[in-house]
Amino acid sequence: MKVICDREKFWQAFQAAQSVAPTRSPKPVLSNVKLEVTKEGATLLGTDLEISMRIEVAGVDMEAPGAALLPIARFGAILRENSDEKLVIESDGNKTEVRGQWSQFQLPSSNPAEFPAVPAFAEKKFHEVPARFFREVVRRTIFATDPESSRYALGGVLLEMLPETLIAVATDGRRLAKQEGPATSVGEHTTGDRMTIVPTRAMQAIDRALGDSDDVIRIAARDNDVVVKGGAATVCTRLVEGRFPKWRDVFPRRDDVVRIEMPIGPFYAAVRQAAIVTSEERRGVEFKFGDGKLVLAGHGAEFGESHVEMPIPFEGDADPVNLDPRFVSDFLRVLDAEKNCTIELRSSEMAVVISTDDNYSYIVMPLARDSN
């Protein structure tokens, strides 16, 4: 195998492929990225046996087809530290040589045939989703997952794919994030009754692989895994096993509620200020809406008290509610600070619903009053 590659493009693809490799593994072969070269092009493969990634590499000229295992630590350091525009990579199966204009490296190489198979995207039934929307899905859901849960399968994001819609839901049992948006079914693909729960780490890997692409991505859900194809990347991941909570039952009744429109930027700033005096033992901040202002009050046994006010377009009155400011901040930080969100309140004991005008909803359970 012998190729001449654009170092910068190869380095970018290598970083994506190595991102799914395990930091520690009893299988030494997994500490490599596999390079496959055919007349169709060059592809980098990485896997930890749970998540697999294929990256098609641009800027590669083939001189001889074949395959090679590239050790992540050493080969990655060569790509990172080298300043040559072009590199020659040549391997005979026992050693791999990397040559630039002013440098040359020789690395031992393992048998590429020992590397696990990494599937390509060959599905006939799938959903097409705008890449920009899917990146929003990742950003707006993964913070609400709970990888440590043992009762429910909360260590990932539930994807429900309907004929014209993608719904993504994440929860840790104390808050729930739901993003809904446009998607197109190809070949009558739907998730149906299947629990398609994508691990949080896999969602992050897909997001990294997509980069800034504005392409349409393809998502195919199968019984035990999901395959995603976007631009030059294909990611396959096993699904989280177990049952996801009946999330639709979590949403409270939307009638007979107080609705208050809030400017996101000032609201986020006020929550961060009020949270300064809170601690793990006393996490709660009281949110009181009424008389044209929001009053936030935090009480920390060790760190004192906070009192923050901000004007709001609401002249009515609503029951104060005690919330964990970290949960509210998690929601607000993924939104556009220049836009508004809507808060729905029923009572101090009922879940609070915060939503935006682009089909994003967030539920936060109130804390007990004594946690103030």
Tell me, yes or no, whether 241 and 257 share the same domain: no
Q: For 294-329, how does the pLDDT look when each residue is reduced to its tens digit (9 = 90+)?
A: 999 998 767 789 999 999 989 888 899 999 999 999
pLDDT reading at 66 higher than 90: yes
Residue-level pLDDT at 78? 96
Residue-level pLDDT at 370? 55
Tell me, yes or no, whether 52 and 107 share the same domain: yes
Residue 369: band (very low, low, confident or very high) from pLDDT cuts 50, 70, 90? low
The reply to whether 119 falls in a domain is no
96 in Cβ contact with 109 (< 8 Å): yes
Any idea what the CATH number is for the domain that residue 331 is in?
Answer: 3.10.150.10
Return the percentage of the chain with pLDDT > 90, whole number.
81
Residue 17: band (very low, low, confident or very high) from pLDDT cuts 50, 70, 90? very high
Q: For 178-214, how does the pLDDT look when each residue is reduced to its tens digit (9 = 90+)?
A: 999 999 999 999 998 889 999 999 999 999 888 777 8
When the pLDDT of each residue in the chain is averaged and rounded to a whole number, the result is 93
Tell me, yes or no, whether 256 and 346 share the same domain: yes
Tell me, yes or no, whether 51 and 144 share the same domain: no
* Cα 171 from Cα 156, distance rounded (Å): 9
Average the pLDDT over each of 75-79, 139-143, 279-283 and give the range with the smallest value.
279-283
Last residue of some domain: 248, 277, 306? 248
The reply to whether 121 falls in a domain is no
Q: Specify the pTM.
A: 0.91
Scan for tokens 């530290």, then name that residue. 81
Tell me, yes or no, whether 262 and 239 share the same domain: no
Q: What value does the CA radius of gyration of the chain take, rounded to a whole number of Å?
A: 25
Residues 6 or more apart in contact with residue 75 via CB below 8 angstroms:
14, 33, 96, 98, 107
Last residue of some domain: 192, 221, 248? 248
Scan for tokens 């970018």, then name that residue. 12
DSSP H or E stretch at residue 207: helix 200-210
pLDDT reading at 363 higher than 60: yes
If one counts the domains in the chain, the total is: 3
Residue 222: band (very low, low, confident or very high) from pLDDT cuts 50, 70, 90? very high
Tell me, yes or no, whether 41 and 109 share the same domain: yes
Domain residues for the domain of 146 are 126-248
Mean pLDDT of 14-24: 91
* Cα 147 from Cα 198, distance rounded (Å): 12
Bridge partner list, 294: 289, 310
Q: What are phi and psi of 191, to 5 degrees?
A: -85, -20
Residue-level pLDDT at 23? 82
* Cα 31 from Cα 23, distance rounded (Å): 8
The reply to whether 120 falls in a domain is no
- At what angle are helices 72-81 and 7-18 packed, to 10 degrees? 150
Residue-level pLDDT at 280? 80
Q: For 236-275, how does the pLDDT look when each residue is reduced to its tens digit (9 = 90+)?
A: 999 999 999 999 998 877 778 899 999 999 999 999 999 9
* Cα 118 from Cα 111, distance rounded (Å): 16
The reply to whether 17 falls in a domain is yes
Mean pLDDT of 62-88: 95
Reading the block at residue 155, the tokens are: 């260590």
Q: For 85-94, how does the pLDDT look when each residue is reduced to its tens digit (9 = 90+)?
A: 999 999 998 8
Last residue of some domain: 192, 226, 248? 248
pLDDT reading at 136 higher than 90: yes
Tell me, yes or no, whether 206 and 227 share the same domain: yes
The single-letter code of the amino acid at 132 is R
Tell me, yes or no, whether 130 and 244 share the same domain: yes
Tell me, yes or no, whether 192 and 236 share the same domain: yes
46 in Cβ contact with 52 (< 8 Å): yes
pLDDT reading at 167 higher than 70: yes
pLDDT reading at 372 higher than 60: no
Nearest to 5 by CA among 122, 85, 78: 85
122 in Cβ contact with 131 (< 8 Å): no
The reply to whether 203 falls in a domain is yes
Tell me, yes or no, whether 233 and 285 share the same domain: no
